[in-house]
Chain A
Amino acid sequence: MSPEKMVYMANQIATFFKTQPGEDVAARVAAHIHDFWEPRMRDQLCAHVDAGGAGLDPAVIAAVAELRAGA
């Protein structure tokens, strides 16, 4: 998947959860990505964060940290 598309999709998810009441945005984004993204896509996302995470919403970056902790 092109990095732009992946960043776009991840940010879309963050945009939704940021509008929800509650504090645990990163956890919810992480849970959504964990449940719906195939491992290849998650790996690509993690790699993108390792490479600086250009373009990613901070909530996604926080979510990736949670994903790693959970995995």
Chain B
Amino acid sequence: MKDFIIPWNERSDERDMGTPAKEGKPVTLTIDGFEITVPEGTSVMRAAAEAGIQVPKLCASDNLEAFGSCRLCAVEIEGRRGLPASCTTPVAPGMVVQTQNEKLRKLRRGVMELYISDHPLDCLTCAANGDCELQDMAGAVGLRDVRYKAPEGAGLANHFEARDTSGQVNPEWLPKDDSNPYFSYDPSKCIVCNRCVRACEEVQGTFALTIEGRGFDSRVSAGGAGDDFLASDCVSCGACVQACPTATLQEKSVIELGTPERSVITTCAYCGVGCSFKAEMQGDQLVRMVPYKHGKANRGHSCVKGRFAYGYATHKDRILNPMIRETIDEPWREVSWDEALSFAATKLRGLQEVHGRRSIGVITSSRCTNEETFLVQKLTRAVFGNNNTDTCARVCHSPTGYGLGQAFGTSAGTQDFDSVEKTDVVVVIGANPTDGHPVFGSRLKKRLREGAKLIVIDPRRIDLVKSAHIQAAHHLALKPGTNVAVLTALSHVIVTEGLMDEAFIRERCDWDEFQDYAEFVSDPRHSPEATEALTGVPAAELRAAARLFATGGNGAIYYGLGVTEHSQGSTSVMGIANLAMLTGNLGRPGVGVNPLRGQNNVQGSCDMGSFPHELPGYRHVKLPEVREIFEQAWGVEIDPEPGLRINNMLDAAVDGSFKGLYIQGEDILQSDPDTKHVAAGLAAMECVIVHDLFLNETANYAHVFLPGSTFLEKDGTFTNAERRINRVRKVMAPRNGYADWEVTQLLANAMGAGWNYTHPAQIMEEIAATTPSFAGVDYALLEEKGSVQWPCNEAHPEGTPVMHVDGFVRGKGRFIVTEYVATDEKTGPRFPLLLTTGRILSQYNVGAQTRRTENVVWHERDLLEIHPHDAEQRGIKDGDWVRLASRTGETTLIAKLTDRVSPGVVYTTFHHPDTQANVITTDFSDWATNCPEYKVTAVQVGPSNGPTDWQEEYAARTERARRILPAAE
């Protein structure tokens, strides 16, 4: 029958092949009479699957190493005794395998009979009915009856009956564990196949689950005795739920709604990993999100946010009607789209007439699609007639753009995520992947368990430093703000000890600049011994780390906002580029410089020309040949002067020359530093248009509110941190009536633009036609390939997984001198501690979405982490309210005592608006890009009784600003 099997295309093939794919030399064998050739090391089960033959199985799954416990997959192999398990038996040349015969059928029926005798037979009312491998296998082996009978007068020992027939409590029965908000664990249905335990270990790397007991007594257990899922180390990634062949671990949404009937492949809208998901639907009801096996960023894995935290899309706080008001003290008035748009358009045009063309601008969103962002910057450049566009990447990765652009000629991260599988030494600096980029974190941990070495450079002892089966070789716990000094010291060691890759440098980099650089770093004042007092990093440890990185094989650097959000952010990025070039770690898999981007489409929003000095594709507006392309395409003249950056817009607003702002999907009042300054800037404007899902904090200062749509409600693309352009697909109609790109178009047209896009694919055509690195991208290609990494053009028709393979984009790589300059945000007697900020797994950015999901069970509020020593000196106990004050302002929050932070350093997250962490942060910023210095603020901490006046006043003002009048009839 095999001849009739149609070759399936890779993406539509979602069969479980039983065991993971292997690489090795070809081995040929015969299975059920068919000859098949597979790589050495492949299991007989997988070889059979490759030949189109499914061997029955329960405990095997192709994302987990084989375990061999269920025995259902037994096969007969000529010349071998017994019936070996095909999942644990590797292929051998010339092997002759039989997967079906009477002996095997009998064995399999016997196995299934045993399983079924200890399993409730309530299939019809079970949540997994139709989606249960136990059911499937009972059918596949032809199980017709179960012969085990209870002895006279007594029950049969089992796990699934709470009480036996005489009403006695069954000691083997355990109640359901519903503690996790998203999935339940029903031990009565467990077949102890161990798949969940292995998924938690091998895929997620958390090791939260174990099998307790032996034989009939074995049980899956989360955490220690008495723990439930919520109390255990479980991070709710869902890998175990995915792996479970039965209804034992089951999504609560499926229990509630039933099994889905169709699915649509789309992309997570949370972080820069850009995981692919199947949105599984009943009509237009989303039943669950399941990580997509062929997603190239995530390879079938997910984290709690993308997998489960989509409830915000239907949250009652979502605003679905446009609203306007003359002044921000008035309550909101719900109006028609027409009225809202003409109100906004008239105001904006009026402001331009009075205050000039450059008096208004836009902020694009890193949460929206590429197509939407492209339109928003087009709105300001083509319709407003200026370049006043900026985006939240300003406050996170703008130094990456500048620093890598200077060194390599492009700001792009150099690798794909698969690259981590080939790396030998990983440097993680200023990033916390297990919380910030969890699926990448899991892939990294997998590689570390395989033996790669890890160097962590971070003021805080992040989870990667030490967690289950992972231990960093070196943790350089530097003082916040001394990144440049540490990076330069690492280079000092490499250069002075002669560990650099001279051949690479001679061939690929500017040799003269290298000479200058080598002379600079070799100066003894950059030695680890000389900088130890400043950075707090022991010299010997730093030397050892430098040697390891330079000599340990493929070296890859991953970095995050702990590098960029400093007054020397751009210089640090250059320091990272220097390290990679010095050691020849560029241009092949397993190496590279990898910025971990925060939000889902930060990369895309930068690519799409969100910055005020650059047109799409990172080309400066001053260049006439670039303006020419867009002037042709758009039929307008483009302003050759750079526009205002976010903080400059706010300054100009306070000065009175900037009056109107259209903000798509960002909450600058909460996310930008120095809240009071942002508030003053917004309050000085006459027309603030907020286009978002919720009345966010910024909307307190808005005159027009345009309701936004979620990623489930529109088509488009997101570009993740590996430059991968992934499709976002509409699975339901926008609840607010319009996708965000349509809203921008309506606003543009209300101002006379005359745009007529009917589908985002047309916007992508315009992007491709104007932007060389996207020249080859269109929706048909994305449909065919699933995703592609830019540059994608004639030279790279299928995209570019690894950059700078045969040379740097700019030609020769540039070594740039990186002199350490201390930030002026210094500790002193009044503010003796350094505050640094970060994020946690279950929440996302300012939390507008995640706070509106069950994820709050893991993070009710932001906490201030403080070292017990510092706490004791101040009379602070764990759980106390404390006052956190800086030169800029003060707030209160709850203290958490931990030695994750060093003495002298405190740490908090910024997911909740009441915390007002940005009341504390200063407006110091990166010298090149004005990226704010979030990561260093000198503070004092002291006991407190509760919220500050500002917090209370703020809460009251927010309440007032959010009043909505009932719609006029």
* CB–CB A20/B816 < 8 A: yes
B911 an interface residue at 8 Å Cβ cutoff? no
> What separation, in Å, do the CA atoms of A16 and B641 have in the docked complex?
24
Cβ of A51 to closest chain B Cβ, rounded Å:
16
Selected contact of A21 from candidates B516, B645, B648, B821, CB within 8 Å:
B516
On chain B, the residues within 8 Å of A36 by CB distance are: 613, 642, 645, 928-929
Which of B71-79, B455-463, B625-633, B651-659 participates in binding chain A?
B651-659
> What separation, in Å, do the CA atoms of A38 and B925 have in the docked complex?
17
> What separation, in Å, do the CA atoms of A38 and B645 have in the docked complex?
8
B643 an interface residue at 8 Å Cβ cutoff? yes
B119 an interface residue at 8 Å Cβ cutoff? no
Selected contact of B930 from candidates A9, A32, A40, CB within 8 Å:
A9
Cβ of B961 to closest chain A Cβ, rounded Å:
27
A35 an interface residue at 8 Å Cβ cutoff? yes
> What separation, in Å, do the CA atoms of A40 and B650 have in the docked complex?
13
B867 an interface residue at 8 Å Cβ cutoff? no
On chain B, the residues within 8 Å of A40 by CB distance are: 358, 644, 652, 657
* CB–CB A38/B641 < 8 A: yes
> What separation, in Å, do the CA atoms of A16 and B590 have in the docked complex?
32
In the complex with contacts A5-B923, A41-B648, A16-B930 CB distance below 8 A:
no
Chain B interface category by residue count: 20 to 34
> What separation, in Å, do the CA atoms of A21 and B513 have in the docked complex?
9
Digitize A1-31: 1 where CB-to-B-CB distance is under 8 Å, 0 elsewhere: 1100100010011011001110000000000
Cβ of A55 to closest chain B Cβ, rounded Å:
13
B927 an interface residue at 8 Å Cβ cutoff? yes
On chain B, the residues within 8 Å of A1 by CB distance are: 648, 651-652, 655
In the complex with contacts A38-B612, A39-B641, A40-B657, A32-B651 CB distance below 8 A:
no
* CB–CB A16/B928 < 8 A: yes
Cβ of B511 to closest chain A Cβ, rounded Å:
14
B908 an interface residue at 8 Å Cβ cutoff? no
On chain B, the residues within 8 Å of A39 by CB distance are: 358, 641
> What separation, in Å, do the CA atoms of A12 and B819 have in the docked complex?
12
Selected contact of B642 from candidates A2, A16, A21, A37, CB within 8 Å:
A37
* CB–CB B819/A38 < 8 A: no
Digitize B604-646: 1 where CB-to-A-CB distance is under 8 Å, 0 elsewhere: 0000000011000000101000000000000000000111110
| Chain B residue at smallest Cβ distance from A38 | B644
On chain A, the residues within 8 Å of B620 by CB distance are: 35
* CB–CB A20/B817 < 8 A: yes
Total A residues in contact with B, Cβ cutoff 8 Å = 20
B194 an interface residue at 8 Å Cβ cutoff? no
Taking chain A's interface residues, is the majority helix, strand, or loop, or is none over half, making it mixed? helix
On chain B, the residues within 8 Å of A5 by CB distance are: 651, 923
On chain A, the residues within 8 Å of B19 by CB distance are: none
* CB–CB B652/A32 < 8 A: no
Cβ of A68 to closest chain B Cβ, rounded Å:
16
Selected contact of B927 from candidates A13, A21, A34, CB within 8 Å:
A13
> What separation, in Å, do the CA atoms of A38 and B644 have in the docked complex?
6
Cβ of B815 to closest chain A Cβ, rounded Å:
10
On chain B, the residues within 8 Å of A21 by CB distance are: 516, 520, 817
* CB–CB A12/B927 < 8 A: yes
Cβ of A33 to closest chain B Cβ, rounded Å:
10
On chain A, the residues within 8 Å of B652 by CB distance are: 1, 40
> What separation, in Å, do the CA atoms of A40 and B643 have in the docked complex?
9
Cβ of B733 to closest chain A Cβ, rounded Å:
40
Chain A CB count within 10 A is highest, among B388, B620, B644, B923, for B644
Selected contact of B821 from candidates A15, A20, A34, A37, CB within 8 Å:
A15
Cβ of B626 to closest chain A Cβ, rounded Å:
13
| Chain B residue at smallest Cβ distance from A44 | B655
On chain B, the residues within 8 Å of A2 by CB distance are: 651
Cβ of B401 to closest chain A Cβ, rounded Å:
11
* CB–CB A32/B657 < 8 A: no
> What separation, in Å, do the CA atoms of A13 and B643 have in the docked complex?
18
Cβ of A21 to closest chain B Cβ, rounded Å:
4
> What separation, in Å, do the CA atoms of A36 and B817 have in the docked complex?
21
On chain A, the residues within 8 Å of B817 by CB distance are: 19-21
In the complex with contacts A38-B648, A40-B657, A19-B819 CB distance below 8 A:
yes
On chain A, the residues within 8 Å of B571 by CB distance are: 16
> What separation, in Å, do the CA atoms of A39 and B648 have in the docked complex?
11
Cβ of A40 to closest chain B Cβ, rounded Å:
6
- Tell me the B710-759 residues at the A interface (CB within 8 Å): none
Q: Which residues of B contact A (CB under 8 A)?
A: 358, 388, 516, 520, 567, 571, 612-613, 620, 622, 641-645, 648, 651-652, 655, 657, 816-817, 819, 821, 923, 925, 927-930
Given contacts A35-B622, A38-B612, A38-B648, 15 further A-B contacts (CB under 8 A): A2-B651, A9-B930, A12-B567, A13-B927, A16-B571, A16-B927, A19-B817, A19-B821, A20-B816, A21-B516, A34-B622, A35-B642, A36-B613, A38-B641, A39-B641
Provide 28 A-B residue pairs closer than 8 Å at the C-beta atoms, listed in order of the A residue: A1-B648, A1-B651, A9-B927, A9-B930, A12-B567, A12-B927, A13-B927, A15-B927, A16-B821, A21-B520, A21-B817, A35-B613, A35-B620, A35-B622, A35-B642, A36-B613, A36-B645, A37-B642, A38-B388, A38-B612, A38-B642, A38-B643, A38-B645, A38-B648, A39-B641, A40-B644, A40-B652, A41-B648
Give the top 5 A-B pairs by smallest Cβ distance, nearest first: A19-B819, A12-B927, A1-B651, A21-B516, A38-B644
Q: Which residues of A contact B (CB under 8 A)?
A: 1-2, 5, 9, 12-13, 15-16, 19-21, 32, 34-41
